[in-house]
Amino acid sequence: MAIKRYNNQEFKDSYSKDPVSFFKGIGGFFFRQPDWGVHMYYQNMSVMFLKIKNNDISLQEFEHGFELFIDSLGVDSQDFEHFEENICAFYQCMIDDKEPVTDFFEIGRSCRSSAERYLSLVSLDYSNNHYYQVVKTKYSQASINEIW
């Protein structure tokens, strides 16, 4: 079943009402990978940065939504996968694409506090997970690496 992607206004309204759906790729936020049919986090994150550049969504709204997303997560492997794939996509946009944003996971930022709280609850061994490894090696300067 094909899912209709949101137009600009639907995107903004839906993100304002339920930012968690953006980070999990639910509904019109689902960005389908054509071969496997899974959600493509990086492409979705790239769309968000385009919305920020176009002043459709503020950077503060995005950061607050990221915090709400982290605070909503359970400690199961599926939610952890959403977490680590969004972390990787964020740094891919920030570092590789040179998006002009401050690292949301620096000391004193609300996303860092939420991530620290979340990671303290996770008992999964994620040390060999692909996206965790990508962030640890390719984005070694990322502030999230100080806490996971």
| pLDDT tens, residue by residue, 87-136 | 999 999 999 999 999 999 999 999 999 999 999 999 999 999 999 999 99
Rounded-to-integer distance, Cα 121 and Cα 70, Å: 12
Contact criterion met (CB below 8 Å) for 111 and 104:
yes
Task: State whether residue 3 is helix, strand or coil.
Answer: coil
Task: Report phi then psi at 109, rounded to 5.
Answer: -85, 150
Whether the predicted pLDDT of 6 surpasses 90: no
Contact criterion met (CB below 8 Å) for 70 and 115:
yes
DSSP state of 93: I
pTM over 0.85: yes
DSSP state of 92: I
